[in-house]
Structure 1
Amino acid sequence: MPVTVTRTTITTTSSSSGLGFPTTVGSARALTQPLGLLRLLQLISTCVAFSLVASVGAWTGNMGNWSMFTWCFCFAVTLVILIVELGGLQARFPLSWRNFPITYACYAALFCLSASIIYPATYVQFLSHGRSRDHAIAATAFSCIACLAYATEVAWTRARPGEITGYMATVPGLLKVLETFVACIIFAFISEPYLYQHQPALEWCVAVYSICFILAAVAILLNLGDCTNMLPVPFPSFLSALALLSVLFYATALVIWPLYQFDEKYGGQPRRSMDVSCGNRHTYYVCSWDRRLAVAILTAINLLAYVADLVYSARLVFVRV
């Protein structure tokens, strides 16, 4: 249901909160609604997380930078969402407001989840006992709180059976977010070219990750920009073709990546002890063998996501027919 706000009236909508009662927009009372209070919790928890870390300089290296970026980014976008809703500016927002908040909330939940795992695993455990470590542990706790808050928003605002809403609030839409996020994590782990440039088969895997990421990102952007009617084919058919292609591509990567990374016949290293970069454990550093294993696991996760996406997308096509 579109939201209309004038200078003298406050218009409400019952579909934005997903809780079964109206949400007030264009007024400070928007913050007293359950969804508004939840977003305030998101804002505060991410602010506290990056403030605790920044106050003692407790971030170093790629993983520390990733965590700091996550908390700052989530704080900034959540603040923008609150300002838009307080000012009743949804109609002037450049992206589809039916799709943007839940898309962002899903990304933010995954971002904060990754920071809550990566930051303590690659940074906090190496800190000596003291003020910096205490701040880092507290920041991790607030990151977990933010993750739960964003996940709760996704659960509250996702589409229910029979409900008319934006595509990104449906299961296939949320799966698109998961697929692109997992691909981003894969890119982070294969940021060192020596992991794949020695074998054309491994370069194919990198091409698979890139192509599927671009296709999923295009589907998300089309929905955020309300541009799905610009496609030469029906959008459900486009989604089904995209999901089928991605499943086939990822199936090849799931076989090729472990084969060439862990099978000695193809120059791989089946055991972690064979990787000299894993011999000495350095702070803030993830060795090559661990990176290869992480990519193999993430490839399997994304393949499962694309299979589920294909099932839901094919169902939409049959329903349309």
Structure 2
Amino acid sequence: MCYLHLSQLFSTCVAFSLVANMGIWRGAIGNWSMSFWCVCFVVTLIISIVNLCKPWKHSPFFWCNFSVTYTCYASLICLSASIIYSITFVQFLPYGPYRDRAIAATAFSCIATVFYALEAVFLKTWYDLDDVTCYVHTFPGLLKVMETFVAGVIFAFLSNTSLYLHQPALEWCVAVYSICFIPAALAILLNLGKWQLRLPGPFPLFQLVLSLLSVVLYVSALTLWSLYHFNEEFGGHPQRSSDIGCINALTYDMCFWDLRLTVAILTAINLLIYVADMAYWARQVSVGTGGQSSAPDPLHSQAVSLQSSVSP
């Protein structure tokens, strides 16, 4: 774990430093990628310090879930930064030292992705040997991680408010992303602290209702976003060449049409994830797990056993 954390810190720090040293050639995508690498570096450093001090012995179950959850997020963050930075920025840079630095930063971002993925696999193997099941190692937990992560990437592309402020329908799409993100993040927090057992009703039924609502909202968002951005009858541009901004834009930055298309694709991806989430919880409720909220929970039993094992 120590070697993995040192490798992660080194890779993210080098990627961040290389892009930060590019000055005005960073571009908006460069600043966005830098923020991701910086967050990964800071959080990994904090986790490393906490692991050395070992205050988590008082709540090992929570720390187990938190560590694995962060590792999954960090691997997805570095992977997305590597792909987006290389596709939308690096390939358009002119040959020279700045392009070489951008390529090197992408390479170190890919290396960081590998190290974070290795840690996730290592933690899963370690906890499986101890008969401990972390939430993000389950199918619904992985879906929640994907839902919140894709929504976070959408928010990053929506940082340019010109994409939606001129139309109430597009503002509704942004509201949908926010409305659906909050329950998904709340579900992760509830499972990290085992607080879902305190809900007044069955947790599977609660998840099913939220997933169904999210699917309906995302269908409306995908429909409105596509109509108002790619349909000529609603003032959209069906082709990239019809968007004047893409013709006159700088070659090392994304134009509005590219941003609109990216948000539409991410919306469709998240809709599919929510559909899979809804199907999973519908099956759980249909087979009768919705009424088992008062039954002993294996994850809760693991938490109790972990607590007793570390208590003096």
The answer to whether the superposition gives a TM-score over 0.5 is yes
One-letter code aligned to 1:75: F
CA contact (8 A) 2:140 2:280 kept: yes
Q: What per-residue deviation string (whole Å, max 9, x for no partner) do you get for residues 1-36 of structure 1?
A: xxxxxxxxxxxxxxxxxxxxxxxxxxxxxxxxxx44
CA distance in 1, matches of 2:225, 2:142: 26
Q: Distance in 2 between matches of 1:62 and 1:192?
A: 10
Q: In the alignment, which of 199, 204, 220 is matched to residue 252 of structure 1?
A: 220
- TM-score normalised per structure 1: 0.79
Which residue in the other structure is 1:110 paired with? 76
Of structures 1 and 2, the one scoring higher in RCO (CA 8 A, sep 6+) is: 2
- In 2, Cα distance between the equivalents of 1:204 and 1:169? 33
Name stretches of at least 5 consecutive residues in structure 2 with no aligned partner. Answer: 292-312
CA deviation map 1:26-65 (0-9, x unaligned): xxxxxxxxx4433332222212222333455486333111
- Residues 49-94 of structure 1 show CA distances to partners (whole Å, capped at 9, x for unaligned) of 2233345548633311121112221122112222222332223579
Q: Distance in 2 between matches of 1:43 and 1:78?
A: 7
- C-alpha distance in 2 between matches for 1:305 and 1:284: 32
Q: What per-residue deviation string (whole Å, max 9, x for no partner) do you get for residues 217-274 of structure 1?
A: 1112223344323322232222222112111211222222212221112222111111
Contact in 2 for aligned 1:157/1:169 (Cα 8 Å):
no
Partner SS for 1:51: helix
Give the corresponding residue for 1:262.
Answer: 230
Whole-angstrom CA distance in 2 between matches of 1:116 and 1:76: 18
Question: Residue 20 of structure 2 contacts residue 26 of structure 2 at CA under 8 Å; is this kept in 1?
Answer: no
Residue aligning to 2:4: 38
Quote the Cα distance in structure 2 between the aligned partners of 1:48 and 1:186. 26
After superposition, residues 216-231 of structure 1 pair within 5 angstroms as 216-231=184-199
Q: What is aligned with 2:295?
A: none
Q: Report the equivalent of 1:208.
A: 176
| SS in structure 1 at match of 2:63 | coil
Using structure 2 for the length normalisation, give the TM-score. Answer: 0.81
Is the 1:46–1:142 Cα contact (8 Å) retained in structure 2? yes
Q: Number of residues paired by the alignment?
A: 287
Q: Is contact 1:59-1:65 (8 Å) kept?
A: no
Structure 1: tracts of 5 or more residues without a match:
1-34
Are 1:293 and 2:264 matched, yes or no?
no
The structure-2 alpha-carbon separation of the partners of 1:165 and 1:58, relative to structure 1 and needing over 3 Å to count, comes to: farther
Equivalence for 2:105: 139
> 1:16: which partner in 2?
none
Q: What is aligned with 1:119? A: 85
State yes or no: 1:61 paired with 2:27: yes
In structure 2, the partner of 1:186 is 154
